[in-house]
Amino acid sequence: MKMRFPIVLTALLTVFAVCGARAQAPLSPDPAKLRLASANVLVLDAQSGQPLYSKGAEEVTPIASLTKLMTAIVTIESGLPLDEALAVDMDDFDYLKGTRSRLTLGATLPRREMLQLALMSSENRAASTLARNYPGGVDAFVGAMNAKARALGMTRTRFEDPTGLSPNNVSTASDLARLVRASAQYPLIRDFSTTPSHYVEVQPTGRLLGFNNSNRLVSSADWDIQLQKTGYIREAGRCLVMLANVASKPMIIVLLDSIGKFTRLGDAQRVKYWLETGQTLPLAAAFGYKAPAAKSAKPRAVVKVKGKAPAAQNSRSSRSARAGGA
């Protein structure tokens, strides 16, 4: 009798271990249960490279400000000093779409701040300024963007400008997954693209401007986003790419050509729910879904701290992001 108890206990522990392993096993959700409003979609396991869901992932389509991920890569790989002051010029104004910006003529910021605003708030003048101050100017910068795309195997991608305002900046969901994977290798891109809000001190006036992230999901406690970029022009629709930890695994999510202001956010939420549960979130959740907003819509008074820019809290969104390119 005494000999049987250890045997029985061992058997029970083995059963519990097997059940626990099954409970912790990664989900293999059924693609038929995921219905999304975005026209072109790819959901990819970032570790294995296995696509879990694909919809029009090889179709070439305009990509709007998703372009700025490549703008950031070329800027960082140039090795140009990040503390070098760059000034907005007339050539950085948007004469194609007429988008606005609070970075006025002559506004001067370090290259690092221009890069952060381009990624975080989809600031078009910041992206243009980065390209214009590249050796050889904008043409050489765009050439470097296309060369990098070829090096990454993005065979169906072409860039015509550094902002994404041109509808001739095109790619596929599959190619953009490659771009997300490559961008994630740069800590600055991961950090800048997921910062919820940020203040900059614009020279020569010393004026403080607050900017919010163009993707409100980065402020949601329900999401663990490692990298993201939004995009919008009329020809591209609403676009979103993310590298996020979902169901304890890093996932690349590409959503292109979403109609409606909140559709891409709703689709992202339904992808997350599907990965976590294997079930379908009602289609209505894609329309009118609103991600958690910032705690307050009004910026507080700013107190300058010598040698350190104040953290941005409750700042207004960049007008350029609302007007286009985000």
The catalytic residue positions are 65, 68, 122
The reply to whether omega before 196 is within 30° of 0 (cis) is no
SS3 162: coil
Separation CA 91–CA 162 (nearest Å):
13
Q: How far is CA 184 from the centre of its chain?
A: 10
Tabulate helix, strand, coil % of the chain (nearest 5): 35, 20, 40
Instruction: Tell the burial category of 272 from Cβ atoms under 10 Å away from its Cβ (0-12, 13-18, 19+).
Output: buried
Tokens of 47: 């570790």
Q: Could you tell me which residues come within 8 angstroms of residue 116 by beta carbon, excluding any fewer than 6 positions away? A: 192, 195, 198
SS3 71: helix
Tokens of 272: 């997350």
**Among residues 44, 38, 40, which one has the least CA distance to residue 59?**
40
Q: Are 96 and 37 in contact (CB under 8 A)?
A: no
